[in-house]
A and B are shown apart, each in its own frame.
Chain A
């Protein structure tokens, strides 16, 4: 698509200055600093000597485990968001327009609430003697000892799904709302079962929404920080926590922390390139 001729006038280029300045000052510059730090030698906090030790220490099995766990948790969160989000988006898209807007608004509400408070609420639900624990005991599903889901990978996964679900539902809803549901009737009319109609018609035509939703959730979940920090324990540390610890906790290792950040960016960047490649091969 070609941009309109609005910004062809040199004077209107001036309108872009604030945005450009903002991006350079608060995005390009800090990112360059992080990239620079990743190539320095660890010290207190860094020595101004070019060194790739940060990247070497990245290969430490301990850090590789964190990387793999992050990818695994982000992927699982993405899949669960898709499994929960698709029927939800479908349900909303098939309501009458007025109700549709209300329901969609309600899905987005958690985005406006303070996310820290929401995660604290989950801590209250998941801790020993918390609501989940009591429910399990009341249902007779647990023994005498209190059950804690808190500080487990499962709690982190739950938190990630909870936090990022709106980002999945948003693009799914957008593509489902545009979907012409007559196409499903046409498929049924030609003898397709419900499942076949979904597989051959609904799914391929809403795939762009699925792809965007998965991308949004995966990228964000991969670099999640607050959720694993509050709901996860030492055994469910993710990349975000690793970065934070290497910068702020003893033993400090800024080059390693920066190297993790750069690696994360590279993984996400590679994912985006792959996504656009795939998209371009579509008719």
Chain B
């Protein structure tokens, strides 16, 4: 069994006068774990329903394995795992999982064998006779998964499949899902609003906002080099430095952001927007060489367990969020005089968001 590929070319979809998906182009490769990530209302679920064939695009094309979809792709090859599982409440676990095989009119011995095999795969053996409401959320999630993979599809579309589970269970299911995807070689298209989940599981992520795809890339790329202001703020946290390039010093640009002057790796434009991750800033008692090192005052600190988050004011002008690992050393306190240091390349230029 081999995963399928799907390509969206400039796809748009409106409900009434409300544009929901606006000119989305994606190329999802065979066997890829591909996440559509964005806040609620960003069009990710509609994009998934377009791929599933539940909706037809108003404009644009969807290519399935490089070919136009003459027959709906979901008929055989593409199965969906629904957000709230959509298990048939009047059927047992076994009947639920067998449903897709019965639709294919397989022999009952074959159906029984494959249902058994799939239930073992998702660790639900022994639950055959239970009804969905007799199962925990995590078990229902596994039944939904079993029901979707038992027919051996080539692509699985998952709509916030872990959204209803509590944190511990969600973490466990994340690695289980990922392992299952590797083992089956399926293409997964995974919709989520949880950026940590997307970063942890995906081969590639498409960040969506207001019906548009803002950036596509591997988790590391998305996090380290956010393309726009929205991506920088939605994926993790970012300090946004809105400044002007006032001069150049060799390969770096001299940037003035709100009266604070520092060096940055920036293109030649006059004004620049830089995203700086809180954990890329260090705090020291003395100035550091070879990096931006600016005098600052601790305004506030928040204890987060593994980390401590500080709000510092640089040269009485610029406020920065700084995140330091909790290494057991005494933390800084409000009013402490420190130096905020970062490597110039750590501040990444980002584009403004496209107009809505």
Name A residues whose Cβ lies closer than 8 Å to a Cβ of B: 180, 182-183, 185-192, 196, 200-201, 204-205, 283
| Distance between Cα atoms of A189 and B155 in the complex (Å) | 12
Chain B residues with Cβ below 8 Å from A196 are 103
Q: Is B169 interfacial (CB-CB < 8 Å)?
A: no
Central interface residue in A188, A191, A205, by most chain B CB within 10 Å: A191
Q: How many Å lie between the Cα of A191 and that of B99 in the bound state?
A: 9
Is B86 on the interface with A (CB-CB < 8 A)? yes
Query: How many residue pairs bridge A and B at CB < 8 Å?
Result: 46
| Beta-carbon contact of A205 and B90 below 8 Å | yes
A232 to chain B, nearest CB (A): 41
B262 within 8 A of A: no
User: Cβ of B90: which chain A residues have Cβ within 8 Å of it?
Assistant: 204-205, 283
Report how far A186 CA is from B74 CA in the complex, Å.
11
In the complex, which residues of chain A have a beta carbon less than 8 angstroms from the beta carbon of B82? Answer: 182, 185-186
Write the B138-178 contact mask toward A (1 if CB under 8 angstroms, else 0): 00000000010001000000000000000000000000000
Query: Which residues of chain A come closer than 8 Å to B54, judged between CB atoms?
Result: 185
Chain A residue numbers with a CB within 8 Å of B234 are none
Contact residue among B52, B79, B86, B100 (Cβ-Cβ distance under 8 Å from A183): B86
Min CB–CB distance A269 → chain B (angstroms):
29
- 18 new A-B contacts, CB < 8 A, other than A191-B75, A283-B90, are A180-B84, A180-B86, A182-B86, A185-B54, A185-B82, A185-B86, A186-B80, A186-B86, A189-B79, A190-B79, A190-B103, A190-B151, A191-B76, A196-B103, A200-B99, A201-B88, A205-B90, A283-B131
Q: Which residues of A contact B79 (CB under 8 A)?
A: 189-190
**Chain A residues with Cβ under 8 A from B80's Cβ?**
185-186, 189
Across-interface contacts of B131 in A (CB, < 8 A): 283
SS of A interface (majority): helix
In the complex the two chains form, is A190's CB within 8 Å of B99's CB? Answer: yes
Question: Which positions 67-106 of chain B face chain A at CB distance < 8 Å?
Answer: 74-76, 79-80, 82, 84, 86-90, 99-100, 103-104
Are A205's CB and B86's CB within 8 A?
no
**What are 9 pairs between A and B in contact, CB < 8 Å?**
A182-B84, A183-B86, A185-B54, A185-B82, A186-B88, A190-B151, A191-B76, A196-B103, A204-B90
Return the 4 tightest CB-CB contacts between A and B, nearest first.
A191-B103, A190-B100, A186-B86, A182-B86
Please tell me if the beta carbons of A205 and B89 are within 8 angstroms of each other in the complex.
Answer: yes
Cα A5 to Cα B146 with chains together (Å): 44
Shortest beta-carbon distance from B284 to chain A in Å: 55
**Which of B86, B87, B103 interacts with A192 by CB under 8 Å?**
B103
Q: Which residues of B contact A200 (CB under 8 A)?
A: 99
A185 proximity list for chain B (CB < 8 A) = 54, 80, 82, 86
Closest to A184 in B: B86
CB distance from B134 to the nearest CB of A (A): 10
State how many angstroms separate the Cβ of B331 from the closest Cβ of chain A: 49
User: Do A187 and B99 form a contact, CB below 8 Å, given A204-B90, A205-B90, A283-B131?
Assistant: yes
CA A182 to CA B89, docked complex, whole Å: 12
**Minimal beta-carbon separation of A194 from chain B (angstroms):** 12
Chain B min CB distance to A176 (Å): 15
- Kindly state the separation between the CA atoms of A188 and B75 in the bound complex, as whole angstroms: 8
Question: Which of B79, B82, B86, B87: most chain A CB closer than 10 A?
Answer: B86
